[in-house]
Amino acid sequence: MTKKNESDPLYQLKNPWEKQTHNVWLASTLSLSRNLSKFKFPNKLDKDKEQQIITLLYDSLKESPEINHPLLYHSEKMTPLQKEFLLEHFMILDNFYQAHGGEGFVFDDSGEFLAVFNLQDHIQLNMIDMQQDIEKTWNRLARIETYMGRSNDFAYHPRFGFLTSNPRQAGTGLSIALYLHIPAIIQTGELAELLEREKDEEVEAIGLQGKTTEMIGDILVAHNTCTLGLTEEYILTAMRMWATRAVVTEINIRKKIQEGDNEQIKNRVTRALGLLTHAYQLEVIEALNSLSLVKLGLELGWIRAPMGMNMNQIFFNCRRAHLMNLIEDNVEVPELPKRRAEYLKGIAQQLTLTI
C-alpha cells in the first residue's frame, strides 16, 4: 500500500495552474545548471563531500530574497511517490529515481521553484512558468544564481563558460522546455509538416515520452539543444519565436476545423467524452488522450463546462503521483486505473455536449 503524509508540505505545494490562461502554450520550465569549482562532479563525490555541498548551497540559497521559506528534503529520506510528485509538479523531463542517497531537493512557498543538489550537477535551479513569460522567469532564475554566486565559486572556463557534467549543457547551462497543447495539428495529421517547416538544429520537439511517434495527450515539448556558444537572450528569443509559430499554426487549424464542420474530429471528441463518462478503468495515457480531445471540444464550443473548471489542472492531475494525492484514502497502485476513471467520470458528468 502506498501511503502519503497529509501534513507533508511537499503535497501542499501551491498549484501553479491557477494562473494559467493560455489554451495552447500550457507551461514552460527553465533549468540552470552550475557546479562548485572546488569539488568533483556529483558522480565522483564521496558521501561527506555530498553533504558538504548540500550544506554550502542550501545555506546560500535560503538567504536569497527571491526564495520564500525554502524547505530541504534529503533524497534518502524521500519515498518514490514524493520524487514522482516533484517531477510531475515541475514538469521536469529528467528522472529522479536514481536519486537514492546524497542528493537534495529544495522548494519554496511559490510552488514555482525547485533546486536539485548533486544529481547530474552540484545544483540545478528550476522554475516553472504558466504565464508564457519566459523572460521574466529567466530574470528571477538569474537573480537567484547571482546571489548564490556571491558566496560560492562556480566552475567557469573563459572559453567554454560554466562547466557541467554533460559537456553539451556547458556554456550558459540554461535549458528551456515549452509544453504546447496542439491537438488540432496532430488530429489533422499536420504534425510532420510543422516539424519539417520549423526544423532547427537549436530546437528539438518531442512528445512527453521523448519521441514524436506517440504524442501522449497531444502535448509537444520544444526544448533547446544548445547551451554552448549562445547567450541566454538568444536562447530565450529562439524558443519564444518557435513557440509563437507553433501556436499560430494550431489556432489557424482550429479555425479551419470550426469553419469546415469536420465530422471526423467531432466523432473523436464525442467518443472521448463518452469514454471519460462511462469507463470503468483508465490508464494514464488513454486518460490524457481523451482529455486532450475533450479540451479541444471545449475550446471549439462543442462542449460546455461549468464556470471555473480548469481543464489544464484536471489534465495534469491524472498522472499517478498527483492522482494518489487527490484520493483521500490510501490506495493500492493496481487500483489506480479504477480510481482515475471514477475521478474523470465526476468531471465528465459536469460537461454538456452541444453538437
105-116 confidence digits (pLDDT tens): 999 989 999 999
The CB density around residue 93, as the number of other CB atoms within 10 Å, is 15
Q: Which domain holds residue 108?
A: 9-253
Q: 342 with 294, same domain?
A: yes
143 CB-near residues (< 8 Å, 6+ apart) = 64, 66
pLDDT digits (tens, 9 = 90+) for 249-302: 999 999 999 998 789 999 999 999 999 999 999 999 999 999 999 999 999 999
Average pLDDT over residues 94-112: 84
Task: Judge if 318 and 243 occupy the same domain.
Answer: no
Q: Give pLDDT tens digits for 11-38.
A: 888 887 776 678 899 999 999 999 999 9
Report H helices in the chain.
Answer: 47-61, 80-90, 134-149, 183-187, 191-197, 232-260, 263-278, 284-300, 311-317, 320-326, 336-348
Range 142-145, long-range pairs (CB < 8 A, 24+ positions): 142/32, 142/232, 143/64, 143/66, 144/61, 144/64, 144/66, 144/67, 144/113, 145/32, 145/34
Confidence of residue 354 (pLDDT cuts 50, 70, 90): very high
User: Which pLDDT value is given to residue 93?
Assistant: 74
Positive or negative torsion for Cα 308, 129, 8, 328: positive
Do 196 and 316 fall within a single domain?
Answer: no
Cell digits of residue 156: 567557469
Average pLDDT, the chain: 92
Q: What are phi and psi of 35, to 5 degrees?
A: -135, 150
Count of other CB atoms within 10 angstroms of residue 5: 10
In the block, residue with C-alpha cell 469546415: 260
Rg of the chain over Cα atoms, rounded to whole angstroms, equals 21
Do 338 and 281 form a contact (C-beta atoms < 8 A)?
Answer: yes
Whether 69 is covered by a domain: the verdict is yes
Residues 107 and 61 occupy one common structural domain: yes
Model confidence at 328: pLDDT above 80: no
Q: Are residues 229 and 267 in the same domain?
A: no
Contact between 151 and 34 (Cβ < 8 Å): no
Number of domains in the chain: 2
pLDDT value at residue 4? 54
- Please tell me whether residues 238 and 94 are part of one structural domain: yes
Domain boundary among 197, 224, 253: 253
Determine the number of helices (DSSP H) and then strands (DSSP E) in the chain: 11, 12
Residues 73 and 208 in one domain: yes
